[in-house]
Structure 1
Amino acid sequence: MTASETDDFTPTQIFATPLWVRRVVGFEQINADIRALLPQLRTESAERRSNEGGWHSQTNLHTDDRLAQIRKIIGTTSAGCATSIGFDFTRHNLVFQSLWININGHGHSNRAHVHPQSFLSGAYYVDMPKDGGNIELFDPIAARVMSPFPADDLSPYTGQLLEHTCREGDLLVFPGWLQHSVQRNESNRDRISISFNMTFESKPNTQR
């Protein structure tokens, strides 16, 4: 095809970065059940990871059957995401690597980070108050900062950071290598989310 044959200048996307946003059906009751578990969970040991303040549970909650319902939803959704980008389920299984709960109160945030050795990562929102702090996703193509250009609007070709407005009941999935942070909670209510990592393992007798 030559330039004279078409007036369509829509570019071909290369080195794509996927982001999936799903609205969980029946999230109101699911979230109520999760909130009811929190007093008991918060008596257990916590961790410090990317969180600046707040509470970060242990990362092995994918083994806790008290969270079986949301674990199943996250696992099924992640499998659909993996299928959409060509994951080979004939020779590999998609499995949980970790799952944990974040509770961030007023003034708390999460600094920029990635999830090493994770195929897919994401977050499910249990409580998301107004001004509770959105997730920020950073452009993974570092070299792009060397050649900025004037643009009339933000787009996938111009922004170095994408702020996603989160809602209760939203489930976000993205590659584990995608750098992200969470803004400071400026509200007087807790922001509560469940984060997770998915990895994969070879099925028996299927390695090449």
Structure 2
Amino acid sequence: MSAPELKFEEFTATSPSLGAMTRKNNFPTMIFQGQLENHTEFNENIRKLVYAEQKKASTSKPANDIEIMEWRSAKNLHRNSKFAAVRDHLEAALASISSELHYSKDHRLKISSMWANISPSGSGAAAECRPGNLWSGCYCVRVPKGTGSMKFIDPRTINVMNPAKFEKDDKPRDCFTKVTFKPSEGHFVIFPAWLYHEVETNMAKQSGPAGDYIYISFNATQVKDKRSSTAS
């Protein structure tokens, strides 16, 4: 399949001698988000399951280091029948992405790892990407007031190392090098696995479980759809 022909949008140049100029944005970074309806009771059940996982864990080490202090479960919750409902909701969202992007109908996006995170007040998660996967994401279970945002970072390092100067408060969105996603309960976000992201510090004033930010993280990859083969 050949690469598509570039199509440009016209705009007026600052110098009359130049006439019209054109611009076309290419290689976009797609981030999907959505909201699970009627999530209150659903999330309460997930919250209890997450704390149960933490309690039975052989260790409760921080996910990254002593300065981060975010707890993470094992990454196999997608195989745990107690978490099947949240997995199914997320794979339904992934199926919508497959359709939107015209992925092969002989393949589907399947969650390859899924884990729970408990981020108490004063904790966060350092920037990371997730090699070996196609998409990644998270689902927000409990979001106390003061929870930090998820921050996405432009992977083109030149834009961070040597950024252009812009007029104050007039930087085009297409030139942003960092964008944030403000979590809310029942909300999910799905992004390319290669995109660096971090969770800002949880500034909740409550201590103990009342200040815990709880969310489910996952990775997904594209696999041959056996259901499609059987149907044909």
Shorter-chain TM-score above 0.5: yes
Aligned residue-pair number: 203
Distance 1:154 1:93, change over 3 A: same
Determine the C-alpha separation between the residues in 2 that align with 1:84 and 1:129: 33
Partner letter of residue 17 of structure 1?
T
Q: Which of the residues 110, 114, 117 maps onto 1:99? A: 114
Determine the C-alpha separation between the residues in 1 that align with 2:183 and 2:20: 34
Q: Which of the residues 174, 177, 182 maps onto 1:157? A: 174
Deviations 1:71-98, CA, capped at 9 Å, x for gaps: 11000101112322232232x2321110
Question: Identity, % of aligned pairs?
Answer: 26
Structure 1 runs not aligned, ≥5 long: none
Distance 1:149 1:107, change over 3 A: same
Q: Which of the residues 174, 195, 199 maps onto 2:217? A: 195
Q: Which protein shows a greater Rg?
A: 2
Distance 1:2 1:108, change over 3 A: closer
Structure 2 runs not aligned, ≥5 long: 1-7, 13-18
Determine the C-alpha separation between the residues in 1 that align with 2:21 and 2:39: 41
Matched-pair contact (CA < 8 Å) for 1:140–1:179: yes
* Shift, 1:20, TM fit: 0.8
Determine the C-alpha separation between the residues in 2 that align with 1:32 and 1:192: 11
What is the DSSP-based 3-state SS (H/G/I as helix, E as strand, rest coil) of the residue aligned with 2:184?
Answer: coil
For normalisation by structure 2, the TM-score amounts to 0.78
Matched-pair contact (CA < 8 Å) for 1:50–1:113: no
What is the DSSP-based 3-state SS (H/G/I as helix, E as strand, rest coil) of the residue aligned with 2:173?
Answer: coil
Distance 1:31 1:3, change over 3 A: closer
Q: Which of the residues 43, 51, 64 maps onto 1:39? A: 51
What is the DSSP-based 3-state SS (H/G/I as helix, E as strand, rest coil) of the residue aligned with 1:121?
Answer: strand
Determine the C-alpha separation between the residues in 1 that align with 2:90 and 2:159: 33
Determine the C-alpha separation between the residues in 2 that align with 1:102 and 1:11: 42
What is the DSSP-based 3-state SS (H/G/I as helix, E as strand, rest coil) of the residue aligned with 1:72?
Answer: helix
Distance 1:41 1:94, change over 3 A: same
Determine the C-alpha separation between the residues in 1 that align with 2:148 and 2:164: 27
What is the DSSP-based 3-state SS (H/G/I as helix, E as strand, rest coil) of the residue aligned with 1:157?
Answer: helix
* Shift, 1:179, TM fit: 0.3
Determine the C-alpha separation between the residues in 2 that align with 1:3 and 1:154: 20
For normalisation by structure 1, the TM-score amounts to 0.87
Name the structure 1 match of 2:87.
Answer: 71
The equivalences for 1:26-175 within 5 A come to 26-42=38-54, 43-45=56-58, 49-50=63-64, 52-90=68-106, 92-145=107-160, 146-151=162-167, 152-175=169-192
Determine the C-alpha separation between the residues in 2 that align with 1:2 and 1:70: 42
What is the DSSP-based 3-state SS (H/G/I as helix, E as strand, rest coil) of the residue aligned with 1:38?
Answer: helix
Tell me: higher relative CO, structure 1 or 2? Use CA pairs within 8 A at least 6 residues apart.
Answer: 1
* Shift, 1:114, TM fit: 0.1
* Shift, 1:173, TM fit: 0.4
Matched-pair contact (CA < 8 Å) for 1:61–1:99: yes
Distance 1:144 1:38, change over 3 A: closer
Deviations 1:95-122, CA, capped at 9 Å, x for gaps: 1110000001011110000011111100
RMSD: 2.7
Determine the C-alpha separation between the residues in 1 that align with 2:46 and 2:95: 23
Distance 1:202 1:185, change over 3 A: same
